[in-house]
Amino acid sequence: MSTGGLPNVVIVGGGFAGIAAAHALRRAPVRATMLDRRNHHLFQPLLYQVAISALSPGDVGTPIRTLLRKQHNATVGLLEVTGVDVTNRQVRVAGDADEVQAVPYDYLVLATGVEQSYYGHDEFAAFAPGLKSLTDANAVRSRVLRAFERAEVEIDPSKHRDLLTFVLVGGGPTGVEMSGALVDLTRLTLKADFRRIDPTTTRIVLVEGGPRILPSFAEELSQKAAERLRRSGVEIRTGKHVTLVDAEGVVVDGQRIRSRTVIWTAGVTPSPAGKWVGAPTDHAGRVLVSPDLSVPGLPNVFVVGDTAHLEQDGKPLPGVAQVALQQGRYAGKLIASRVAGRPAPPPFRYFDKGNLAVIGRNFAILESGRVRMAGFLAWCVWAGIHLSFLPATESRFVVLRKWYWMYLTKQLSSRLIGDTPPPGASSDATTRTAARSVS
């Protein structure tokens, strides 16, 4: 990838931070090169809606090329970055011997985000998919729908309980929003679809290791969310740890909960960006960046978003979309200033616009400055904000229309199971047979 004489800014990762960085370089005299191993930007906050069949993958994923189509100084490469050579200023990428091996940079923005973490228990992954990618969301969707399908044809009614028990590990926004949405799926949508089972008898268990769900919210709001979930039938177990996940379910503090569908939203681990550039990291592996988001000692290398660690007012910034967006934009603007020979902007400062979570239809909690809200009005704010942040104009219409449709008919429109069961699916006959034959 030639730089055409202009300074080459390489951005790794097309998430919120990376896209914001690229957009901030729109008018700068640079060549911006966006590298991602996936061809799409993902609107993570709505990913759980794909998992419960309310939205299609195309509604929350937008090709990165589409987002940068009109930015003529930007090039997009579908490449997997494997490391950084800070001495020779180039990014190493995976590929055959005859393919591109490295991409040179003058400025580097690492916006590589986080991955699902099973806290050292990667063997749980086969039984409890996470919710970080479209593949994850499709896997969760297939498992959830297959559980009902299998219960419908199961002869032995004692097995219905296992099939109709869903365990969500992790009481953060994704786990909470997913459990609220699962209640709606069973109560409103699937109710009329089955003849032999009653989907409304589904048991949903939400397990959180900390003392309360949604710890990033004020205690009062987290309580209201918990009350709302309990009223709609979700069992919440706080202060409990999942010590085992297998084909039969989970073990929570020594107690077995039999379930064929376990979803893991309990933790994340940062990308290896810190290792790539040999930067100091926190205990989790997040890069301890300078106040201008650059790597200490490497003033032309920036780390932004979830994979960066920066403290503000004595507390580390949270790994949320707003922080990523603002940091990406800051890094882009800083590079634009430096290239143009303008003075650098003041150190990065996060402006907290607030915090929102939705608990099923019509109910959300909202916290912004001194404002704290819980209920339908907060839900409207949530819907409005999410719609306005979806990147493609068209997606916004589609999502709006789907929600409207859902409202009118209580039907979810994307209830498709892929042709082949997911590998390691506990609800898959082949796997279960295999597991038995070795036990």
CB nearer its own copies, residue 94 or residue 377: 94
Answer for which of 123, 397, 400, 407 binds its own copies (CB under 8 A) is 397
**Per CB under 8 A, 411 contacts its own copies:** yes
Stretch 159-188: interaction string toward its own copies, x if CB under 8 A = x-----------------------------
Answer for which of 29, 123, 192, 201 binds its own copies (CB under 8 A) is 192
* Tokens 């989970």 -> residue: 250
Q: Choose one: 72-80, 123-131, 202-210, 334-342; the region binding its own copies (CB under 8 A).
A: 72-80
Residue in 227, 348, 362, 353 with CA at minimum distance from that of residue 291: 348
Q: Choose one: 81-89, 315-323, 339-347, 406-414; the region binding its own copies (CB under 8 A).
A: 406-414
- Smallest distance, Å, CB 50 to its own copies? 10
- Smallest distance, Å, CB 150 to its own copies? 7
CA 282 to chain centre: 21
Catalytic residue selected from 177, 227, 311, 367? 177
CA angle 424, 429, 431 (to 5 degrees): 30
**Per CB under 8 A, 65 contacts its own copies:** yes
**Per CB under 8 A, 405 contacts its own copies:** yes
**Per CB under 8 A, 25 contacts its own copies:** no
Strand 261-264, strand 165-169: pairing = parallel
DSSP string, 220-231: HHHHHHHHHHHH
- Smallest distance, Å, CB 103 to its own copies? 9
**Per CB under 8 A, 216 contacts its own copies:** no
- Contacts with 214 (C-beta within 8 Å, 6 or more apart), sequence order: 171, 172, 173, 176, 221, 222, 225, 357, 365
The whole-angstrom separation of Cα 23 and Cα 41 is: 14
- Contacts with 365 (C-beta within 8 Å, 6 or more apart), sequence order: 214, 217, 221, 222, 224, 225, 356, 357, 359, 372, 373, 374, 378
**Per CB under 8 A, 279 contacts its own copies:** no
DSSP string, 136-202: HHHHHHHHHHHHHHHHHH-S-THHHHHHTEEEEE--SHHHHHHHHHHHHIIIIISTTT-SSS-GGG-
Q: Any idea what DSSP says for residue 79? A: -
Q: Choose one: 106-114, 208-216, 243-251, 391-399; the region binding its own copies (CB under 8 A).
A: 391-399
DSSP string, 265-291: -S-EEE-THHHHHT--B-TTS-EE--T
Residue in 346, 62, 355, 378 with CA at minimum distance from that of residue 214: 355
Instruction: Give me the count of residues in the chain.
Output: 439
The whole-angstrom separation of Cα 424 and Cα 142 is: 12
Question: With CB under 8 A, what is the number of residues at the site for its own copies?
Answer: 60
Say whether 152 is catalytic: no
Q: Choose one: 192-200, 226-234, 303-311, 353-361; the region binding its own copies (CB under 8 A).
A: 192-200
Answer for which of 40, 89, 143, 329 binds its own copies (CB under 8 A) is 40
**Per CB under 8 A, 418 contacts its own copies:** yes
Answer for which of 87, 88, 433, 439 binds its own copies (CB under 8 A) is 433
Q: Which active-site residues does the annotation give?
A: 177
Binding site for its own copies (CB under 8 A): 1, 38-40, 56-58, 61, 63, 65-66, 69, 75-79, 94-96, 98-100, 133-135, 145-146, 149-150, 152-156, 159, 192-196, 392, 394-395, 397-398, 401, 405, 411, 413-420, 429, 432-433
